[in-house]
Amino acid sequence: PDVTEQVVCILEAKRDVMRATGNAAITEVDNQIASLLALEHVS
């Protein structure tokens, strides 16, 4: 494959990792928000 194709593949792989990492971080924040709201409604 030519260089451009290789670079695109590398960038796509990097993007996929970043997307997965980002989604995991977002889920963590969502869970923290849900926990806080749940505690608020209990009291």
pLDDT tens digits for range 1-43: 799 999 999 999 999 999 999 999 999 999 999 999 999 988 6
Q: How far apart are CA 22 and CA 25, in angstroms?
A: 5
pLDDT at 41: 86
Token pair belonging to 1 = 């494959």
Number of structural domains found in the chain: 1
Residue 23 sits in which domain range? 1-43
Reduce the secondary structure of 1-43 to three states and give it as a string.
CCHHHHHHHHHHHHHHHHHHHHHHHHHHHHHHHHHHHHHHHHC
- List Cα–Cα distances, 14 to 10, 26, 36, in angstroms: 6, 18, 33
